[in-house]
Structure 1
Amino acid sequence: MFLDPVFYYAFFLAAVLGVSRVKRERKNFTIRAQDAYFELRQLVPAGLVAGLVLSLAIVAAGLTVPLATVLLVAVFTLLFSLTGNMRLVGPAYTVGASFFALIYLGGRSIDFFFVREAFEAAADRIYPSVAVLLGLLIIAEGILISKRGNIATSPKLITSKRGQRVGVHEARKLWLVPVFLLLPGSALTLPFDWWPVFSIGENTFSLFLVPFVIGMHQQIQSMLPAQAIKAYGKKVTTLGVLVLLVSVAGYWYPIAAIVAVSLAILGREAIAFLRKIKEENRPTYFSRKNEGLMILGIIPNSPAEKMGLKVGELISKVNGLSTRDESDFYEALQQNRAHCRLEVLDTNGQVRFVQRALYENDHHELGILFVHDERKWDERAV
């Protein structure tokens, strides 16, 4: 795994995502929601679990893929990441593009180090095992999106089609999923006697831990982030199951493998396109409301988080005073700097009351991010 540039590049990408998110959040709100290392902390743990499950399934099934596929996946991961859209570094695009590139390059002589031997060994051109691997990775992608995609989505301010300032939530996530793969032949040899090599009949196989990057890039504006991302993840998982079922038939009918990979790429694009159209045709959820002040984001470890306030809730009263904008909210807090009592309308339309003592080092707005007019960049400490 440490020989694969994707392993190191995934950490670099996660760091870039974290820094760019913090800059944007500070520009919008003069404060960041999560620190710049949040994406790095999320990169590995969930991916390790997903990779372990996939590895057990792949090794148990004896699924083998040519080394040329691993090389191509690394190349397409690097290329597609340059677009800035983390969805494109997902398996549907990187593994899918590698499958079709292998059809064209398989069996050819490429005069570049050990790459020549890797592609010459891939003479069969069409590998149903690559399509099966793609189906499994898309299932893992859907589950990761459903379970982990809604964690700490980033609040963001945009201008609507009507020219009004509204809020959205952006989820740009990366997961590093290391998967054990059986690679046939001896295209890549290592000087270790203990390296696991298997011989089945006349065929030799090596066991390698290959890192795959799974990414998501979703902007939610018409509903709560958790609901939208969970529904999105279910659709991706369903697509993965369908791709897996079709790809298995490729062992008997090679054309089925091509159909499965095509379905993966087109299906992944269709899911993203339909979601975007649906979002654009619905009213914005995070906008100014007559009933109160909409909560767009919560700063971690802030008084608002300790009071149990949630994204999407409306604050109708502060210390008994009605609030319609940030100015009303701040003035109401000043009525009693030692204690605050909020009347909150939750996402189900139910009224509840929360209260808390305030301390000298607490955030002056309780750590709540609201929808407001655009603020200019400043250098205040945050």
Structure 2
Amino acid sequence: MDTAMDVLRLAGSAALSLLLSPFYYIGVLLIMLQYLRQTRLERKLFHVRLHAWPNQLVRTVLAGLAVGVLLSVVSLFLGVSVTDEAVLWLWGTAALLVFIRVRYLCFAYSAGLLGVLQWCLGWTAMDGRSDWLGTAAGSLAHLDIPGLLVLVALMHIAEGILVRWQGARFASPLFLEGKRGKLVGGFMLQAYWPVPMLLLVPAVSGGGDVNLPWSLLLGGGSDWSHGISMIGFPMMLGFTELTRTMLPGAKARSASRGLLYYGIVLGAAAVAASFWPPLMLVAALCALLVHEALVAVSYYREEAHTPLYVHDGRGLRILAVIPGTPAEAMGLLPGEIIHKVNGVRVHTKDELYAALHINSAFCKLEVLNYEDQVKFVQRARYAGEHHQLGVVLAPDEKAGYYAAASPASLFDLLRRRTAKSRQRAASAPTSTSL
């Protein structure tokens, strides 16, 4: 009981320091900017808001908090040596990388890059210098890179679970340019989660009055002989996937599997490096290269398949359904095809409008589902409802705007312009996982 109370006391002190840390709030701010940008892009492309960014922000903050509590409990048995300097190094590196690509706001890149830099410093004498460069080199040399990589691995396992759970909810439809310049529909699945963690750390010499009655997985060294302390450690989870060929749910499940495999592989390499330090470089390169391999695999899978969200001879392909509209009430789903409206075959938006006005008070649809089977839906129509039932159709030649599948940086988040005419495209993140 005394140990439990001591740990709770340390947790309260660490939680207070976390609340006073700016890094968590910076992460929330970056997430808010991303969701605002997504909302602006939807309004530009479809003249309607499909997602409410405050709801998205609250959902991600709460999910990140739940993950932080879970990982904080797991960390009680890890023994990762994380210091305030490690927090500064990770966030400082991430802050530099986010100016290049938003998807680099992932500690897999920060921790991996720091591991490579630490290995390179081992071949120099910079940490022996007396100036600021020597101080920085000495601080970097003392980072527990294997421990940080274990945390990154656990975070990606948690991220894989979150993507499976929430990933499809953050799917935002887009008009994109296809291989031959023809516009096609697609989805951007993008979500970020700020994760506040409380981590046990070795107390400084003579400064720890709490000793744990259990053994730590990675804390067998002499650093833990002086007792334990606890710090608040804000981390970020995030993923981005762009698909033209899959349904949002299927893409989220595919991304989730990749993240889980990545977390397991990186975790094994990091634990091995913790017990045998020469493997540290291998674990750091694993964090970087395997993560980029996930990006490449996702990209080439998309390139190898035919776009899904295009119209064909069977009718009009549904790209998205606007919440709170007749289309949602009738159970229409993205990827389905509107085959007939009030008994009339439709192939264009003009034909859809004309068929809907055959009966201004009632509509009956024949829709082809994912298995190419016909389902019949019908509903009364009321004054003031959406003129197109509330469906966003795949683009045609009349579409005026589209989003270019190019990487987004922090500068893109701060720009108000999110979509341009078909002659000039706006930036949308490329397919990747964080």
* 2:159 counterpart (141, 155, 160): 141
SS in 2 for 1:353: strand
Matching residue of 2:176: 158
Q: Is the 8 A contact 1:296 1:311 kept in 2?
A: yes
Give runs of aligned pairs for residues 88-127 of structure 1, distance below 5 A.
88-101=104-117, 104=121, 124=142, 127=145
SS in 2 for 1:215: strand
Q: Is the 8 A contact 2:108 2:287 kept in 1?
A: yes
Tell me the distance in 1 between the aligned counterparts of 2:128 and 2:56. Answer: 40
Give runs of aligned pairs for residues 5-154 of structure 1, distance below 5 A.
5-85=22-102, 87-101=103-117, 104=121, 124=142, 127-154=145-172
Q: Is the 8 A contact 1:96 1:134 kept in 2?
A: no
Tell me the distance in 1 between the aligned counterparts of 2:100 and 2:242. Answer: 16
Q: Is the 8 A contact 1:17 1:39 kept in 2?
A: no
Give runs of aligned pairs for residues 353-372 of structure 1, distance below 5 A.
353-372=376-395
Tell me the distance in 2 between the aligned counterparts of 1:311 and 1:158. Answer: 16
Tell me the distance in 1 between the aligned counterparts of 2:228 and 2:129. Answer: 22
* 2:363 counterpart (340, 349, 354): 340
Tell me the distance in 2 between the aligned counterparts of 1:260 and 1:163. Answer: 41
Q: Is the 8 A contact 2:167 2:252 kept in 1?
A: yes
CA separation of 1:301 and 1:52: change in aligned 2, threshold 3 A: same
Q: Is the 8 A contact 1:131 1:257 kept in 2?
A: no
Per the TM alignment, residue 237 of structure 1 is displaced from its structure 2 partner at its CA by: 0.7
Per the TM alignment, residue 97 of structure 1 is displaced from its structure 2 partner at its CA by: 2.6
Per the TM alignment, residue 157 of structure 1 is displaced from its structure 2 partner at its CA by: 0.4
Matching residue of 1:239: 262
Per the TM alignment, residue 145 of structure 1 is displaced from its structure 2 partner at its CA by: 2.0
Letter matched to residue 92 of structure 1: A
- CA RMSD between the two structures: 2.8
Tell me the distance in 1 between the aligned counterparts of 2:83 and 2:232. Answer: 14
CA separation of 1:294 and 1:197: change in aligned 2, threshold 3 A: farther
SS in 1 for 2:306: coil
Deviations 1:333-374 (A, max 9, x none): 112222211111111111111111222231111111012332
Per the TM alignment, residue 259 of structure 1 is displaced from its structure 2 partner at its CA by: 1.5
Per the TM alignment, residue 197 of structure 1 is displaced from its structure 2 partner at its CA by: 6.8
Letter matched to residue 177 of structure 1: V
**Number of matched pairs:** 367
Unaligned runs of 5+ in 2: 1-17, 213-223, 402-418, 421-434
Tell me the distance in 2 between the aligned counterparts of 1:119 and 1:143. Answer: 37
SS in 1 for 2:262: helix
309-318 or 131-140, which deviates more: 131-140
Tell me the distance in 2 between the aligned counterparts of 1:169 and 1:311. Answer: 10
Tell me the distance in 2 between the aligned counterparts of 1:349 and 1:102. Answer: 56
Tell me the distance in 2 between the aligned counterparts of 1:311 and 1:107. Answer: 61
Q: Do residues 175 (structure 1) and 200 (structure 2) align?
A: no
Letter matched to residue 146 of structure 1: R
Deviations 1:11-51 (A, max 9, x none): 22122112211222222212221123243123212212222
SS in 2 for 1:157: strand
Tell me the distance in 2 between the aligned counterparts of 1:289 and 1:339. Answer: 26
Per the TM alignment, residue 271 of structure 1 is displaced from its structure 2 partner at its CA by: 0.8
* 1:301 counterpart (315, 324, 329): 324
Q: Is the 8 A contact 1:102 1:126 kept in 2?
A: no
Q: Is the 8 A contact 2:81 2:144 kept in 1?
A: no
Structure number with higher relative contact order (C-alpha < 8 Å, ≥ 6 residues apart): 2
Give runs of aligned pairs for residues 164-313 of structure 1, distance below 5 A.
164-185=182-203, 198=210, 202-313=225-336
SS in 1 for 2:169: coil
Unaligned runs of 5+ in 1: 190-195
Per the TM alignment, residue 125 of structure 1 is displaced from its structure 2 partner at its CA by: 5.0
